[in-house]
Amino acid sequence: MTNQHDPHADLAKVTESTERLLRTVAALDPGVVTEPSALPGWTRGHVLTHLARNADALVNLVETARTGRDIPQYVSNTARDEDIEKGSGRPLQEHLADLRTSAARLAEATATLPAAAWSAQLKHRLGYVFPASALPWKRLAELEYHHVDLAVGYTPAQWPEEFATVEFGKLVAHFAKLEDLAAIELLAQDTGATARLGSGPASDLRIQGPVRALTAWLSGRSDGEGLQVHRDGGPLADPRAALPLLPPMS
């Protein structure tokens, strides 16, 4: 799977994903904002606040690409966490307004970015460097993964196939480097994509299923629902029990 990105095509996907999220949030009962999300220790309000502040953080990186000045995503990781905590308990309508206005700021910033600036190298808050052209996809991933994390009815089965396919390739590439993870064959039955998970000793397991189900499991959004596990060519009666425990996404 290629790591090349067409930022303009990806921005269109971000717009569609943002609209899906806003429709979901607008239809929520106001009381659910303080209830637990699918992320340990976070309410739905934490997830919504994170999505809004992530948009602002990416605006900072867009400005880095535009001006050449090194503008960090967040003042600090501590400040990032404090802002998420502080904003988490707001009423639902405040969350919705924040999501809309922060998404609009990011859309405006990216829409006016000069073509040459998309090749600028940006520094992620975790320290690694990536091209500005990959920034729209990073926003798309935040939207799609955390829309599921809200646990309000949007599931991996609703992910766009292209999103699930690209993320499948990226997650496999990440896990393929882990020496303490057994080498397991993966097959996306609907797309035909195959991959090897882990670089440890070879395993006799083969995991297959729809690409969305595989990506959901690899990203920690599923316990393996919809997957089949084969050992020595035969299907297992309890496939989820045979699935290896994966480390969290980085």
pLDDT at 142: 98
pLDDT at 2: 41
Please give the CATH topology (third level) of the domain spanning 161-242: Nonspecific Lipid-transfer Protein; Chain A (3.30.1050)
pLDDT at 199: 83
pLDDT at 238: 85
What global pTM score does this model have?
0.95
User: Hey, where are the domains in the chain?
Assistant: 7-154, 161-242
Quote the DSSP letter at residue 43: B
pLDDT at 139: 98
Q: Are 207 and 229 in contact (CB under 8 A)?
A: yes
CB atoms within 10 A of CB 112: 10
pLDDT at 183: 87
Measured distance CA(45)–CA(62) in Å, rounded: 26
- Distances 4 to 9, 80, 136, 151 between C-alpha atoms, Å: 12, 29, 12, 31
State the CATH class of domain 7-154: mainly alpha
Measured distance CA(39)–CA(113) in Å, rounded: 34
Measured distance CA(36)–CA(156) in Å, rounded: 19
pLDDT at 242: 87
pLDDT less than 50: residues of the chain: 1-2
Q: Are 247 and 220 in contact (CB under 8 A)?
A: no
Measured distance CA(250)–CA(240) in Å, rounded: 23
Measured distance CA(28)–CA(51) in Å, rounded: 17
